[in-house]
Amino acid sequence: MNAEIIAVGTELLLGQILNTNARFLSQKLALLGIDVYYQTVVGDNVGRLKSAIDVAKNRADILIFTGGLGPTKDDLTKETIASCVGTELVYDEQAMQYIEHYFKRTGRPVTENNKKQALVLKGASIFANDHGMAPGMGLEEGEKLYILLPGPPKEMNPMYESYVEPFLMKKVHREAQLYSRVLRFFGIGESQLETEIEDIIDSQTNPTIAPYASDGEVTLRITAKHSSSEIAQKLINETEARILNRVGSFFYGYDEMELHVKATELLKEKGLTLSCAESLTGGHFSQRITDIPGASEVFNGGIICYSNEVKQQVLQVPQAVLESEGAVSAVCAGILAQNVRHLLKTDIGISFTGAAGPDGLEGKAPGTVYLGIAAGEQPPFTVKLSLVGSRQVIRERTVKYGFYYLLKKLEEL
């Protein structure tokens, strides 16, 4: 089967927002074996949307719409589709109850245009919106399948994963099912990882392997198709073992796991506490770890030592070190990690110092970063990073490397 993605919204045509929904859906549909041959963007206009639907019906089995399900007059996707397929709109009771409850909690009356969001195509399968008001829906009409999804990615993405993907799997794969597992890697680029396992990718049949790169990380999705879940998992396990035999040193977790969550979980498992000294990252490391509920069990606190005065007066970095080695140095990173550990009375201390850019610092190029980790009374571990990108990218990647090397240290302890 093949699909066409139709994004509805004049703001997309004006370039006011990016059409990230099409990328997300194309990647997800590929994993189901559904080919996307066309992507269409159309403004909030009934006539042009009808024309787009007429064209799509002649070249696609599945028509997937994003956007145009909201409360305003220019939200006209479901009304237009209802007209095209000859059906009517009816109120979905569950969606209406959610909308009424929401407005009751906010102390405001429910307006008629907000009630509009609870209208759905008669006879459609309804997809709950766990992050918004307008539900999605799937309608079979003849040999065509119409899928309607909200436009905001924060609503559309989880709706697809929770409800639409299982719905499509039943429609597309009536016997064999698809089973997937995501492997997450850090510290290796996408091209290098692909090179290391190129022969495995080239020989793939079932399971299939799909690499993705995002924000300094690389993920591999292994997907097996079989009528037996046990056999599918066995196929995935065998492929995973072959991959990790090559690049296992860069592997850190599965599926939606993130570096900072994994590191925090490992700290809890080992009953260890952490503190940090942040120069160029300016508190970003502390923010990431305190975003996690229950982080207070393992994280005592951090010190933002942005100036040399704070490094010297609070964290006791000797002036001689700052003069001879500089703040951007392995020696300084090691002292910061060790001293913040002692000062905040934790098992492990981690530090970040460097030049985030756009200019260099102490004769060091932008992106020169030193990271230090002190565990117990062992000599501090330090590593030099040479990062590229904007100031913000360098800071964010520094934090990710911090969690990555923290993970490695925790695995050693």
- Say if residues 64 and 138 touch (Cβ distance below 8 Å): no
pLDDT computed for residue 228 by the predictor: 86
Average pLDDT over residues 75-100: 93
Closest Cα to residue 193, out of 240, 239, 238, 248? 248
pLDDT at position 30, please? 79
According to CATH, the superfamily of the domain at 259-412 is CinA-like (3.90.950.20)
Q: Is the pLDDT of residue 214 over 80?
A: no
pLDDT of res. 169? 85
Q: Model confidence over 363-413: pLDDT tens digits?
A: 999 999 999 999 988 899 999 999 999 999 999 999 999 999 999 999 998
261: exposed, middle or buried (Cβ count in 10 Å: 0-12, 13-18, 19+)? middle
Q: CATH topology of 2-172 equal to that of 259-412?
A: no
Whole-number average pLDDT of the chain: 93
At 158 the pLDDT is: 94
pLDDT at 330 over 70: yes
What is the C-alpha separation between 9 and 41, in angstroms, rounded?
7
Phi, psi angles (nearest 5°) of residue 97: -60, -40
The better pLDDT of the pair 163, 214 is held by: 163
**What average pLDDT score do residues 104-119 get?**
86
pLDDT recorded at residue 324 = 97
The reported pLDDT for the residue numbered 291 is 96
Q: What is the pLDDT of residues 48-60, one digit of tens each?
A: 999 999 999 999 9
On whether the CB atoms of residues 410 and 272 are closer than 8 A, the answer is yes
The whole model's pTM is what? 0.68
Q: Which of 150-164, 175-189, 194-208, 239-253 has the lowest mean pLDDT?
A: 175-189
Mean pLDDT of all residues in 133-159: 95
Give the pLDDT of residue 175.
61
Q: What's the CATH class of domain 2-172? A: alpha beta
- Span 177-254 CATH architecture: 2-Layer Sandwich (3.30)
* Domain-wise residue ranges, the chain: 2-172, 177-254, 259-412
Q: Which of 311, 330, 306, 305 is nearest to 384 (CA)?
A: 330
Torsion sign (Cα): 75, 78, 79, 80: positive
pLDDT of 176 reads 65
Q: What is the pLDDT of residue 212?
A: 85
pLDDT digit string, tens, across residues 217-235 = 999 989 898 878 899 999 9
What is residue 174's predicted lDDT score, i.e. its pLDDT?
54
